């Protein structure tokens, strides 16, 4: 991942494709989690469209996320692009007994189709699988499992409903069926100057046990606890995610 931004300016077209695919695409998968608690905020998730900028030094990529309500389900999508790379993700999510859980997750990389993912979460059978993968897999599905995108919505739902306090653990199903657990800890509150003005935020730390990669996240209660900033350290490289614009749409 660290190689992408550092080598973009000098890489040939062939090598650049490999660097981008392994770099920015992976980074885009890691910027989807945050949680906290705050009294007196809107007690329900809101549909939205938001634009973000991802940077490392002078180099940048853009991403757009959209959350919309479809009947009893939520659909969360993310579309990101830089140069000739485009990464699309989408998760279909349902609410059961006051908690959110994924039904399906898709990931598509236009330069590296072998990285595509198509997860199906069969809660009745207790199985999660990707039968369209180059090497199809299937694993036991346990309560609380999320995908890369549904994790964001589940965590925001937890903080909005007040079920997140000072710390939280989250288990994600990742590529090839790997199971990864992340720990989130509340660090405090901070007022940030952003592209849309000054915002009061809750500050979190996110890390996976045994991994050197870690992230700090800032979420704005006034924006339905959307992430407005993220800083990630990976192999001594620093990356940033910042909110550029947002359109909150109530419960549409």
The span from the first CA to the last CA of the chain, in angstroms, equals 36
Greater pLDDT, 58 or 209: 209
Q: Please report which confidence band the pLDDT of residue 189 belongs to, taking 50, 70 and 90 as the band edges.
A: very high
% of the chain surpassing 90 pLDDT: 51
Identity of the highest mean pLDDT range in 13-27, 31-45, 117-131 = 117-131
The rounded distance, in Å, linking the Cα atoms of 112 and 33 is: 24
Report if residue 193 sits inside a domain: yes
pLDDT above 80 for 2: no
The rounded distance, in Å, linking the Cα atoms of 129 and 139 is: 6
Greater pLDDT, 101 or 160: 101
Report if residue 116 sits inside a domain: no
Greater pLDDT, 36 or 217: 217
Beta pairing, strands 237-248 & 117-122: unpaired
Report if residue 70 sits inside a domain: yes
Report if residue 22 sits inside a domain: yes
The rounded distance, in Å, linking the Cα atoms of 144 and 172 is: 9
Strand partners, 188: 203
pTM over 0.85: no
How many domains is the chain partitioned into structurally? 1
The domain of 205 spans 2-85+147-248
Report if residue 136 sits inside a domain: no
Q: Which is nearest to 164 in space by CA: 222, 99, 241?
A: 99
């Amino acid at each position: 991942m660290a190689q992408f931004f550092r080598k973009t300016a000098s890489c040939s077209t062939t090598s650049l494709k490999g660097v981008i695919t392994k770099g920015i695409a992976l980074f885009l998968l890691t910027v989807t989690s945050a949680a906290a608690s705050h009294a007196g905020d809107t007690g329900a998730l809101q549909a939205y469209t938001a634009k973000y900028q991802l940077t490392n030094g002078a180099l940048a990529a853009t991403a757009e996320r959209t959350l919309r309500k479809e009947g009893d389900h939520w659909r969360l999508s993310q579309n990101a692009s830089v140069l000739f790379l485009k990464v699309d993700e989408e998760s279909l999510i349902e609410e059961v007994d006051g908690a959110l859980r994924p039904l399906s997750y898709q990931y598509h990389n236009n330069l590296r189709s072998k990285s595509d993912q198509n997860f199906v979460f069969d809660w009745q059978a207790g199985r999660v699988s990707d039968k369209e993968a180059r090497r199809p897999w299937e694993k036991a599905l346990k309560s609380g499992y999320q995908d890369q995108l549904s994790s964001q919505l589940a965590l925001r739902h937890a903080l909005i409903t007040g079920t997140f306090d000072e710390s939280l653990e989250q288990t994600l199903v990742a590529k090839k069926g790997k199971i990864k657990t992340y720990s989130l800890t509340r660090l405090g509150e901070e007022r940030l100057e952003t592209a849309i003005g000054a915002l009061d935020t809750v500050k979190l730390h996110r890390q996976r046990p045994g991994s050197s990669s870690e992230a700090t996240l800032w979420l704005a209660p006034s924006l339905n606890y959307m992430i407005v900033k993220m800083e990630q350290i990976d192999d001594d490289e620093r990356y940033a995610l910042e909110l550029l614009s947002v359109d909150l749409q109530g419960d549409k």
